[in-house]
């Protein structure tokens, strides 16, 4: 498994639970890149705007997350805090499309009066005219999810987690991928899974493959408020506020094409603070206790690549999830396991297959 983000860690867990020996290779510290930096909403921000292939994975993951969190908590004592707070969308320009989508998909999304929203979220700013609400939408505390996954894998006898082990290339023998090369070593394997997020395209390039996955920078800020300050997630004009159970409030996020630069900027800080104060004016008096950036693995239409690379048997992909890595991870990793082990797939695998999608 090349990559120690949520795809690599959870993919390793699913394969190891099925009895497979797994080696996870992470160039830094497992769970310290995009998976750590995200907000953790267990839904695409605007699910009706995505291809059906994205929603198919999201729906499966939403249903599985509470069980996954319970398993990890029981095994490690680390609570990923799957917090079903619900989500309000404010002043949606495509509200009708959202409600039509919800009816088609049998999801509970309803139009609500602003007065009702303000009763639930007294801190909400003025100036909004309409709202729709999806109850039951959760957010996961992603740093704790990653900590629990890492601890689970370290306790498994058939998993080896090698951090600070940067993969430099692939071993090819007899027309197959037979392992990977590190700076001063080789790791051989019958199958290699590339789950390196925004770095996946770079790693495939020496094989003559053009994987359309590129880094898309996202910056976020964090406030600490009273535990009851924000009872539900709110989203308006592309920005969102996510409450954690202990009163931390995340505000995100930017979309920047800046290569692999993860430096937080003052421009983004000012923009995020303005959005925070528009949504929740009381945050103007609160201190920003965190500001960071991560690199999303941008891909066409946000449809991930899951499956074997036909040009290189033995090489598998689980990457390119763009803004929805944490949302889609449980289903993506389950589908990957299904395909690798010859199981019945949880969803139609065709839309995610690398065949025909690589240059």
Summarised one tens digit per residue, pLDDT across range 11-21 is 999 999 999 99
State whether 275 and 304 are in the same domain.
Answer: no
Residue with tokens 């795809």: 7
State whether 156 and 293 are in the same domain.
Answer: no
On the question of pLDDT at 359 being above 90, the answer is no
Position 140 confidence tier, pLDDT thresholds 50, 70, 90: very high
State whether 290 and 231 are in the same domain.
Answer: yes
In a domain, 1, yes or no: no
On the question of pLDDT at 5 being above 90, the answer is yes
State whether 198 and 346 are in the same domain.
Answer: yes
State whether 228 and 294 are in the same domain.
Answer: yes
In a domain, 275, yes or no: yes
Q: For residues 319 and 215, give the distance between their C-alpha atoms in angstroms, rounded to a whole number.
A: 12
Position 144 confidence tier, pLDDT thresholds 50, 70, 90: very high
Buried b (16+ CB within 10 A) or exposed e, 144-177: bbbbbbbebbeebeebbbeeebebeebbeeeeeb
Measuring CA to CA, which residue among 349, 260, 351, 358 is closest to residue 315? 358
Give yes or no for a contact between 150 and 160, defined as CB atoms under 8 angstroms apart: no
Helix and strand numbers (H, E) in the chain are 9, 18
Residue with tokens 């590190």: 182
Q: Residue 141 has what pLDDT?
A: 97
Q: Are strands 214-224 and 288-298 parallel, antiparallel or unpaired?
A: antiparallel
Measuring CA to CA, which residue among 255, 247, 273, 168 is closest to residue 219? 255
Q: For residues 286 and 265, give the distance between their C-alpha atoms in angstroms, rounded to a whole number.
A: 20
State whether 189 and 258 are in the same domain.
Answer: no
Domain hosting 174: range is 6-79+142-213+300-352
Summarised one tens digit per residue, pLDDT across range 185-219 is 999 999 999 999 999 999 999 999 999 999 999 99
Measuring CA to CA, which residue among 121, 124, 78, 144 is closest to residue 278? 124
Summarised one tens digit per residue, pLDDT across range 302-350 is 999 999 999 999 999 999 999 999 999 999 999 999 999 999 999 999 9
Cis peptide upstream of residue 124 (ω within 30 degrees of 0): no
Give yes or no for a contact between 123 and 247, defined as CB atoms under 8 angstroms apart: no
State whether 118 and 257 are in the same domain.
Answer: yes
CATH code at position 20: 3.50.50.60
In a domain, 358, yes or no: no
The DSSP-derived string for 152-192 is: HHHT-TTEEEE-S----EEEEETTEEEEEE-SS-EEE-S-E
In a domain, 254, yes or no: yes
State whether 283 and 149 are in the same domain.
Answer: no
Give yes or no for a contact between 11 and 336, defined as CB atoms under 8 angstroms apart: yes
In a domain, 245, yes or no: yes
The total number of structural domains that make up the chain: 2
Summarised one tens digit per residue, pLDDT across range 83-139 is 999 999 999 999 999 999 999 999 999 999 999 999 999 999 999 999 999 999 999
Residue with tokens 């408020």: 225
In a domain, 357, yes or no: no
Q: For residues 64 and 221, give the distance between their C-alpha atoms in angstroms, rounded to a whole number.
A: 28
Q: For residues 81 and 145, give the distance between their C-alpha atoms in angstroms, rounded to a whole number.
A: 8
State whether 108 and 58 are in the same domain.
Answer: no
State whether 245 and 155 are in the same domain.
Answer: no
State whether 15 and 156 are in the same domain.
Answer: yes
State whether 65 and 99 are in the same domain.
Answer: no
Q: For residues 84 and 62, give the distance between their C-alpha atoms in angstroms, rounded to a whole number.
A: 10
Summarised one tens digit per residue, pLDDT across range 251-299 is 999 999 999 999 999 999 999 999 999 999 999 999 999 999 999 999 9
In a domain, 218, yes or no: yes
Q: Could you tell me how many residues make up the chain?
A: 359
Helix, strand, or coil (residue 331)? helix
Summarised one tens digit per residue, pLDDT across range 74-83 is 999 999 999 9
Measured CA to CA in angstroms, residue 123 lies from 118, 223, 280, 283 at distances of 7, 14, 6, 9
Give yes or no for a contact between 208 and 197, defined as CB atoms under 8 angstroms apart: no
In a domain, 359, yes or no: no
Q: E-strand spans in 299-358?
A: 305-308, 315-319
Q: Are strands 315-319 and 192-194 parallel, antiparallel or unpaired?
A: parallel
Q: For residues 107 and 154, give the distance between their C-alpha atoms in angstroms, rounded to a whole number.
A: 38
CATH code at position 218: 3.30.9.10
Which tokens go with 116?
Answer: 């009702």
Q: For residues 89 and 46, give the distance between their C-alpha atoms in angstroms, rounded to a whole number.
A: 9
Measuring CA to CA, which residue among 42, 62, 139 is closest to residue 106? 62
Q: Residue 66 has what pLDDT?
A: 96
């Amino acid at each position: 498994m090349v990559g120690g983000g949520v795809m690599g860690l959870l993919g390793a867990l699913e394969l190891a639970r099925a009895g497979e020996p797994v080696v996870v290779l992470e160039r830094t510290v497992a769970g310290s890149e995009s998976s750590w930096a995200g907000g953790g909403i267990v839904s695409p921000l605007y699910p009706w705007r995505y291809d059906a292939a994205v929603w198919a994975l999201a729906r499966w993951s939403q249903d599985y997350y509470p069980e996954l969190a319970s398993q990890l908590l029981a095994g490690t004592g680390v609570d990923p805090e799957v917090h079903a707070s619900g989500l309000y969308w404010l002043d949606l320009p495509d509200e009708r499309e959202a409600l039509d989508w919800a009816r088609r998909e049998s999801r509970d999304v309803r139009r609500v009066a602003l007065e009702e929203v303000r009763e639930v979220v007294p801190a909400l700013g003025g100036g909004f005219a309409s709202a729709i609400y999806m109850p039951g939408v959760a957010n996961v505390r992603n740093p704790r999810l990653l900590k629990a996954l890492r601890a689970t894998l370290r306790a498994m006898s058939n998993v080896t987690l090698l951090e600070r082990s940067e993969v430099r290339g692939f071993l090819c023998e007899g027309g197959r991928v037979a392992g990977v090369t590190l700076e001063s070593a080789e790791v051989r394997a019958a199958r290699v899974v590339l789950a390196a997020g925004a770095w996946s395209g770079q790693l495939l390039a020496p094989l003559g493959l053009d994987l359309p996955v590129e880094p898309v920078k996202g910056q976020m800020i964090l406030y600490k408020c009273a535990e009851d300050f924000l009872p539900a997630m709110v989203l308006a004009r592309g920005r969102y506020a996510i409450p954690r159970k202990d009163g931390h409030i995340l505000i995100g996020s930017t979309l920047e094409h800046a290569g692999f630069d993860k430096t937080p900027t003052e421009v983004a800080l000012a923009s995020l603070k303005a959005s925070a104060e528009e949504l929740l004016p009381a945050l103007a008096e609160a201190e920003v206790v965190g500001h960071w950036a991560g690199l999303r693995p941008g891909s066409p239409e946000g449809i991930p690549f899951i499956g074997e690379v036909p040009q290189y048997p033995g090489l598998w992909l689980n990457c390119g999830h763009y803004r929805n890595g944490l949302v889609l991870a449980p289903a993506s990793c389950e589908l990957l396991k299904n395909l690798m082990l010859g199981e019945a797939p949880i969803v139609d695998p065709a839309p995610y297959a690398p065949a025909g999608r690589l240059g």
